[in-house]
Structure 1
Amino acid sequence: MAESRVKLGTNDKIALIGNLSTMLTAGIPILEAVDSLASDVKGNQKKILEALKEDLTQGKRVHTTMARFPRAFDKVTVNVIKAAEEAGNLDVALKDLRKNIIKEAEFASKVKSAMVYPAFIGMVFLLVLGVILFFVIPKISSVFSRLTVELPVATKVLIFLSDLMVKRGILVVIGFVIIAAAFYLFFTFKRRVVFEILFSLPLISQVVYKIDLTRLSRSLYLLLSSGIPITHALELTQDVAIKRETGRMIARSREMVLGGKSFSSGLRTSKKVPNLMIKLVEAGEKTGTLDKSLAEVSEHFDYEVTNDLKTLTTLIEPIMLVLIGVTVGGLMLAIIGPIYGLIGSIGNR
C-alpha cells in the first residue's frame, strides 16, 4: 500500500501517539521507543513505526515521517510535532496531541449519536413499507382483481409498485444498485456540494457552524501553544472547516493579521461569530494568552454543541414520527378505503 493511502483509525492513532509520549516521558530514547512499539503492533501502525525507525536511523525527524502519511496525520499534527522537535519538548506535544485526538473523537461521537435515532426510525419505516408492498398489497390486490370496483389512484399506484417489486424483483434490485452507485459516485466527486446543501438547512446550519468554531479554536490552541505563529496556524486550520463560509472567514482573518491587524479584528468581519468568542480572543491578545483563551472558547462551544444536538434530536424525533405516521396512515387508507367503498355499495343494494 502506498504511504499516501495508509490510514489510522482513531483508537490506533491515540495508542500510537500516547504510547510514544509515555515512553519519551520515561526517558527512553526515541529510536529505542519506536523499535519497541513496532514489535508489539500490526497493520498500519507497524508500517508507520517501521518507516519512522528507518527515517530516524538516517537522521531524519519525526515530523518528516508523519508528513509522508497524510491520511494518518493531518497538517496540524505534523506542524505541532515539527515545532515541538525544534523546541525540544516532543513528549509534551505528543501528550497534548493525544488529549486533542480524544476530545475530537468524543466530539464526533456526540454528533454520530444524535443521528442514530432518526436513522433507526427511517430504517423501521422502510422495513414496514417493504412488508406492506411485498405481503399485504398482493393479497389485497388479488381480492380487488375479482371484484368490479373502481379503485382510487393511490390504491392503483400501490398495486403497481407491489406488482413491480414482486414480479420484477431482480430488475428493481438492479435499479436500486444503479441508483445507489450513481449517488455514491456523485457523493464521492461532489462531496463538498452535498455537504453545503445539507449543512445549509435551517436546523443544522447553526450547529455545524458551532462545530466549525469548536474545531478551529481547539486546533489553534494546539498550534499556538506549540509556538507556531498565528499566521501559519490560521493557514493550517483552514482545512478543519466544514463550511466554506468558515474557511473564508479564516482566510480573511489571516490576511488581516498579515496586514498588521489582530485576529479578533478578523473575527469581527463575520456576522456569525459570537461576541463571546471575539471578546475572549481579544482578551487573550491583550494579555499574551491567546492559546489559553482559545482553549476556553473550544470548551464553551463543545458544551453548546452538545446541548444543541440534544435539542435537535428532540425536535427531529416527533417530526419523523408524525411524517411516518401520516405516510403509513395514508398507505392503510389506500388499502382499506376501497374495501369500505365495496361494503357500502353492497349495503346500498
Structure 2
Amino acid sequence: MTARRRRVAIGAIVLGVATPVLATFAVVFGAADLSFGDVWATIGAHLGIGQPVLTPIEDGIVWQRRVPRVLVAIACGAGLAVCGAVMQSVTRNPLADPYLLGLSSGASLGAVCALLLGIAVPLPIAAFAGAALALAMTVGLATAIGQVTPTRTVLAGLAVSSMLGAVTSLIIFWTVTGDSYREILGWLMGTLAAARWPAVWLTWAGLVVIVVPIVLVARRLDAFAFGDRHAASLGIHPGRTRLLLLGATALLTGILVSVSGSIGFVGLIVPHAVRLLTGPGHRALLPLAALAGGIVLLVADTIARTAFEPRELPVGIVTALVGAPAFALILLRQRRSA
C-alpha cells in the first residue's frame, strides 16, 4: 500500500468514526440537560428498541428538533462539498462552488417570493423552483452563446446570478416591513433552524439519487483535468458529460438550498482541503469530501445554535468567518508546495 493510499484509508476511518460521535455531541449539546445515554435511548425507543427514558418535552427536543437538524446538517454539508468538487473539475475553475451557476440567487428569489409576495407555496418548494429557473436560464444562455464550454457556462451563471439577485433585492426593498427583515435575512444567510423530518427525507434522498451515481463515474471527472481534448481522446463526450454533471449538481444544490438557505464556503473549501490528503483523483476525493463536508457543517451549525444562546446565528455567518481564513491558509500551503 502506497503512502497516499494509507493516508486516504486512515482519513476515511477517522472521518467515518468522527461523524456519529460528533452527531451525538451535537444532539446532546444545548440548554436541555441531556446525556449520551439519554439520546441513544430515545432514538432506540423511536426505532422500537427499548423504552423512552425522557419526559415528553425532552423527547420532543431530541427526536423532533435536534436529530432532524443534525441529519440535515450532515446531508447538506456532504452534498455541498461533493457539488463543489464536481464543479471545480468540470469548469476547471478552482474557485467554483455549488452556487456558481446562479442557483443561490434563484433559490433566494423563490424564497423571497413565497415569504413576501403571498404566494401560497411552501418555502422549500419555492426555493427549489427558483433554483431550477436559474439553472434553466444559465444553461439556456450558455447554449445560445455557442458550444457549452466551462468559460461560457461560468459567465452565463454570473450574469443570471446578478440579474436574479437584483430582482430579489428589489422585492425586499419594495415590500418588506417590520420584523420580516429578520426572517428574510436569516434565510438568505443560511439556517437549519426549521429542519424537520420531511427535510431529512428530502436531503438524504437527493444524496442517494444524485451523489452515488456521480461517485460511480468519478474517473470521468479525472479526464477533465487536462481539458476537453484529453477527455474526448478517452472516449468521453465532454460537452454532454459536462452538461449532465452540471445538471445533477445543480439539482442537488437546489434541493439543499431549498432546505438550508445559502450556506457559503463549504462547497469551496472542503474539496481543496481534502485534496491535500487524497490528491486530485476523484474516486477517493468525492467520498471523503462528503464525509468532511458533513462534519464541517454539523460543527458550524452546532456553534451557530449554542454559542450565543438563547440567540441563534445564521450558520452561513459561522462558515464564512471560519471559511475565509481557512481558504487563505490552504492557498498559502499550496503555493509553498508548488
TM-score normalised by L of structure 2: 0.29
Question: Whose helix fraction is larger, Structure 1's or Structure 2's?
Answer: 1
User: Over alpha carbons, which structure has the higher Rg?
Assistant: 1
